[in-house]
Amino acid sequence: MSLLDIFKRRSSAPVARERLQVLLAYERRNRSQPDLVSILREEIMAVIAKHVQIDQDYLQVSMDRGETMSTLEIDIQIPNKSARPLAMAG
């Protein structure tokens, strides 16, 4: 980076404007259901709990919002039976 680059630093206001436009377009659409992620988390948890015993802490739900498409990521860790402490088996 040359000295001139430091002075010519790209103006940040257009970035701010763009980020706000994307974010607010999303937030306005979702005002009626503000916390989709936590609702999904709860319902997914309930379905899984019917079949497997898992800990709340081992369920991660995250959302990555893009301009045209969003990704919902669900990460569930199910403990293996073999991982149980030996004492319990005896």
Binding footprint of another protein on the chain (CB under 8 A): 4, 7-8, 11-14, 16-17, 19-21, 23-24, 27-28, 31
Select 27 or 42, whichever has its Cβ closest to another protein: 27
What tokens does 9 get? Answer: 């630093």
CB 40 within 8 A of CB 62: no
The CB-of-37 to another protein minimum distance in angstroms stands at 18
DSSP secondary structure of 6-50: HHT---SHHHHHHHHHHHHHHHHHTTTSTTHHHHHHHHHHHHHHH
Select 8 or 81, whichever has its Cβ closest to another protein: 8
Select 32 or 56, whichever has its Cβ closest to another protein: 32
The CB-of-27 to another protein minimum distance in angstroms stands at 7
Give, for 78, the enclosing helix (H) or strand (E): none
The CB-of-33 to another protein minimum distance in angstroms stands at 13
